[in-house]
Amino acid sequence: MDDIAIIGYAQSPSQRRAELTEPQFLFPVISEAIERANVERRDIGFTCAGSCDYLSGQTFAFVMNLEAVGAWPPISESHVEMDGAWALYEAWVRLQHGDIDVALAFGSGKSSPGDPSEIYPLQLDPYTLTPLGADPVSMAALQARAMLDKGTITEQEMAEIAVRSRTNAANNPYAQVRGSGDVDTLLREPYVTAPLRRHDLPPISDGASAVVLATADKARAVCERPVWIRGIDHRIEPHQPGMRDLTESISTRQAGRHAGIDHGPVEVAELSATFSHQEKLLREALGLGDEVQVNPSGGALAANPVMAVGLARIAEAARAISERGVSRALAHATSGQCLQQNLVCVLEGA
């Protein structure tokens, strides 16, 4: 595979309820990513978007998001009904063809108009799961209980993860949930859906993220510090939650191995752990030791713009390399219930 680099990235601040429409809050994000990449809109040979029409409650809502890209004169573009991290994967594959040298990937979601507990069951098996109203918090609670029963996590550790995420988010201008708080106070809160308390859950967020990719020659020509994608892979597990081990993430482990995380030390990991217990599960699946800085941005517990949050992890991992001098980082994105599908991307500086 040819080396592809990240040459620009941007995010919107995550908000509980954005007053702007999705194309409106996407526009400045895409403009900023392109500007930082030091290219022009007309240089982009391929555009791929990740979004979910169910969130807007409107078929082909994703087409309107192209207003934020500018689709005249006609452009070459595609869309995935997935997190923007998978849009980046498609753009990365597209660049391998070698006939274009710049691609744009973005993800956006406006969760505020709907109720996630009613919308998410629609992504599940329509005969055995959707009619039960199997919502993401309940599904995650089944997973957390399984981990507690197995002894691979404690409620105390889950609260510690939440506190650390909020503390890290204090310096992240895009985060939605910040602050310190202490573990004992959080553990005195009632359960939302036992064994999960409010701090174990992600916020409901509106937001967007965008990344500009380039081939090696183009990246060196326009960018002082390109961030190289050394490996990227995604894997999926059975859909039925009762047909896999919820206390492990085999698909994350496989994706990590195929993305080459073992080829060198990881300094920073940005993980799409949308529930506190999932951070520990992912750390173990990826073999990340205590020396690895996990979610310095605050992660998905601090801001969860659905369909943009995974791509935001890639943007944050790239930011750690290009702005904070980290030499090797990994980003993780997820899709489906209880970490059913997982993507791992390994990034390096020089």
Partner 1 sequence: MTTHTIEFPYTRTLGPVIGPFLTGLRDGHVLGVRNRDGRVLVPPLEWDPATGEAIDVDFVEVGPAGTVETWAWVTEPTRKHPLDHPFAFALIRLDGADTALLHAVDAGSMDRMRTGMRVVARWKDERAGHITDLSFVPEEAA
Summarize as ranges the residues that interact with partner 1 (CB under 8 A): 115, 117-118, 121, 125, 127-129, 131-135, 138-139, 141-146, 149, 191-196, 237-244, 246
As measured in angstroms, the least distance from the Cβ of 287 to partner 1 is: 24
3-state secondary structure of 236: strand
* Nearest to partner 1 of 131, 264 (CB atom): 131
Q: Take residue 185 and report the two structure tokens written for it.
A: 């106070």
Strand ranges (DSSP E) for 12-147? 46-50, 77-80, 102-110
* Nearest to partner 1 of 78, 240 (CB atom): 240
* Nearest to partner 1 of 141, 259 (CB atom): 141
* Nearest to partner 1 of 96, 240 (CB atom): 240
Angle at 299 between CA 293 and CA 301, to 5 degrees: 130
Best CA proximity match to 218, nearest among 102, 46, 97 = 102
Angle between helices 155-169 and 276-286 (to 10 degrees): 90
Best CA proximity match to 286, nearest among 245, 240, 345, 241 = 345
* Nearest to partner 1 of 129, 317 (CB atom): 129
As measured in angstroms, the least distance from the Cβ of 129 to partner 1 is: 6
d(CA 205, CA 314): 18
CB-based contact 346:142 (threshold 8 Å):
no
d(CA 145, CA 137): 12
As measured in angstroms, the least distance from the Cβ of 56 to partner 1 is: 19
As measured in angstroms, the least distance from the Cβ of 182 to partner 1 is: 24
* Nearest to partner 1 of 143, 297 (CB atom): 143
As measured in angstroms, the least distance from the Cβ of 124 to partner 1 is: 9
* Nearest to partner 1 of 201, 330 (CB atom): 201
Which strands form 227-236's sheet, in the order they lie side by side?
A: 77-80, 46-50, 102-110, 206-215, 4-11, 227-236, 341-348, 328-335, 268-270, 293-294
* Nearest to partner 1 of 225, 239 (CB atom): 239
Q: In the 8-state DSSP scheme, what is residue 67?
A: G
Residue 14: which residues within 8 A CB-CB, separation 6 or more? Answer: 174, 175, 176, 203, 205, 206, 207, 303, 304, 305
Task: Name residue, tokens 């979601």.
Answer: 109
As measured in angstroms, the least distance from the Cβ of 113 to partner 1 is: 17
Best CA proximity match to 229, nearest among 85, 39, 129, 42 = 85
As measured in angstroms, the least distance from the Cβ of 147 to partner 1 is: 9
**What does each C-alpha distance from 312 to 34, 179, 241, 306, 308 come to in angstroms?**
16, 20, 27, 10, 6
As measured in angstroms, the least distance from the Cβ of 199 to partner 1 is: 16
As measured in angstroms, the least distance from the Cβ of 21 to partner 1 is: 26
* Nearest to partner 1 of 15, 247 (CB atom): 247
